[in-house]
Structure 1
């Protein structure tokens, strides 16, 4: 991760309320998660993590995750994933990049780090460094593409170049002029000298351009809903007139625009890191377990939805959630150590749609008996109306609270909101955070059903 991530500001707001389209995405959550392109970053800067073989077994048998990105080429971890079929991406540490411009050194690296594990471990990609451009280290930047070329040549020499890709991940600090997305371009001095040869290499080797978009690092109090893909006014790109209802779409389209200006719009984009922390410093808003679950669940749900972005419609993105575990040995702010989706005992902090059904059903939090989600006493009407708009906008069945429906009367915002909130809570798996609704919902053991109006349970 790199903190220098520009938020994408726009010049004009739309007048109508829009939101990130989760219709269809919800189906993926309900059927167990994405099945082809969802991965996770497996960082190890912690002193309380389970053994790698337990991690591999858990991912294989208890989740739908079929891709893992490592931040090195640890032989113990690579061995742990042998014969699992899980696609593994390894990383060359930044400090090794200059040495790998030498072909002999690159061949030795492949011989030592890759060949002992391949093909029993399904290594699909080697990432050379991590966010190298953002380091501003001229030696690393100058040797990045030559090192990638040497490693590819080394793969060719052992006939692995058609099985293993070479790429490198970037923070959004590579962009300038990204307001709005259609005007984005690569930073001056790097566009033709670094990114043109880099993208040429990626195109020639059928490898992806890997980016690490983090709405978390780009939001403010005013743009939190936009970052989380909650109902928000929406933002217009004044050049294309396209509507953006969430920050991730805007970030991805900015990357696409920069690539397109150099003539490389055909190169695939992979999301190498994306996530939201469950704990932060006291002055941070929107940093808690509920918000992290909401953000990551939306990301997982959209991975294979095929909805794409305004500039890249009907397109899915191979995506790696950051991260598998909290890493208590990391430096920096509190949030940096709390991106994990699993505890060290391999139980989830929250389910984002990656657990297999039998695991989800065995989670005590998911089987609490007869519980319902209702509105808190004193919740403001405008907030409750937002809850109705949000739930019904997802495509869930709100017909009972439409005029003539069994739950239409009493015709009040509170009554309709409670029906919608409970519908969402039950549909999404009865997790506590799915009844939060910006602190307007609470769970009750008393059935709110009445007359012919039955609340789902």
Structure 2
């Protein structure tokens, strides 16, 4: 007869695993010519991992069909080049008709990302049409009774004019009031998140080795912010709090933050600082534990951020060695390394 204590322990392990699946997602990029079929990917993620959110860089119909009835929620992306036309309601309605309605409700849509890092493109036409496109897509979703699907757009940390220390966080001058305040007002009105792509990998200083441990969540002396009296033990928190401070300065600190992309390459060019499997394991593994702990950041305590790791696969058609090696998995579904996203298997206790 099974020991009741052991049965309770096994149940606890299952519940613990389930409890950590609500926050960690993965970016499913497809810039490769050797990836498995989307149906294989969907089955793998559902049956063998705790990942239950994916983010796409398009609205690939094969992927959307593959994730039907999986329970895995999907964020789709409207291409940068489509933004000017999507600022008109008829085009926005057509986009929803083509890319959402044929797959709903079997495929769970979480969010539409309107472009990717548009401000970083410095394309004045795209920037001018970004918010109108978001507004039009939101209106089109409402007209289709799909108000549960959110609309947002991911931003690089280049949107900040300063970020160190976190209390100095501010949006770029000239963009703060004219671009970001209206976007943040949209998020407040629609209860949608402000999406950012923090990458400590690009923030550490190779000439200062101590900053690498700070970026990797490893033991370090920390960074003290004199303005707030807070000490930062990792760069991820500092970057998130810099964004939060910029939002607060405009009066929008109540808007939710979502981490649309973050990651660390497991390989790179010879002598490229910081790359490697050990550091990728440290960053992504510690990030997942940190996010799932619910600890939040010094300025945003007790918060759990929906976070998308970049990326699901190593993508062999990316332009540089490091860009080709951000994946958690190889194209054959073997892990590049394990950061704790596999489903816990039943064990004999």
The 5 A counterparts of 1:52-451 are: 52-161=38-147, 163-221=148-206, 222=208, 223-331=211-319, 333-358=320-345
Partner Cα separation in structure 2 for residue 72 and residue 133 of structure 1: 19
Q: TM-score, normalised by structure 2?
A: 0.92
**C-alpha distance after superposition, 1:43-63 (max 9, x if no partner):** 000011000000000000100
Structural RMSD (CA): 1.7
TM-score between the two structures when normalised by the length of structure 1? 0.71
Q: CA deviation at 1:180?
A: 1.2
Kindly indicate whether the alpha-carbon contact (under 8 Å) linking 1:234 and 1:246 is maintained by their aligned counterparts in 2. Answer: yes
Which digits, 9 at most, give the CA deviation of each residue in 1:161-197, with x for residues without a partner? Answer: 2x10000000000001222111111001111111011
Judge conservation of contact 1:216–1:275 (CA < 8 Å) in 2. yes
Q: Which deviations, in whole Å up to 9, do the C-alpha atoms of 1:368-397 show, x marking residues without a partner? A: xxxxxxxxxxxxxxxxxxxxxxxxxxxxxx
Runs ≥4 in structure 1, deviation > 2 angstroms?
31-35
* Whole-Å separation in 1 of the counterparts to 2:17 and 2:273: 30
Q: Residue 310 of structure 1 aligns to a residue in which SS?
A: coil
Q: CA deviation at 1:285?
A: 2.5
What's the offset of the Cα at 1:35?
Answer: 2.2
Structure 1: gaps of 5 or more residues? 1-26, 362-457
Task: Work out whether 1:49 is the aligned partner of 2:35.
Answer: yes
Shift in Å at residue 304 of structure 1? 2.0
Query: Does the Cα contact within 8 Å between 2:217 and 2:282 map onto a contact in 1?
Result: no
**Per-residue CA distance 1:35-89 (angstroms, 9 max, x = gap):** 2111000000001100000000000010000100000000000000000110100
Instruction: Output the CA distance in 1 between the equivalents of 2:330 and 2:218.
Output: 27
Could you give the per-residue CA deviations for residues 233-284 of structure 1, whole angstroms, max 9, x where no partner exists?
1111121111011100000000000000010000000000010010011121
Show CA shifts across 1:81-102 (max 9, x none).
0001101000011000000011
Q: Is the 8 A contact 1:274 1:320 kept in 2?
A: yes
CA spacing shift, 1:287–1:32, aligned 2, 3 Å: farther
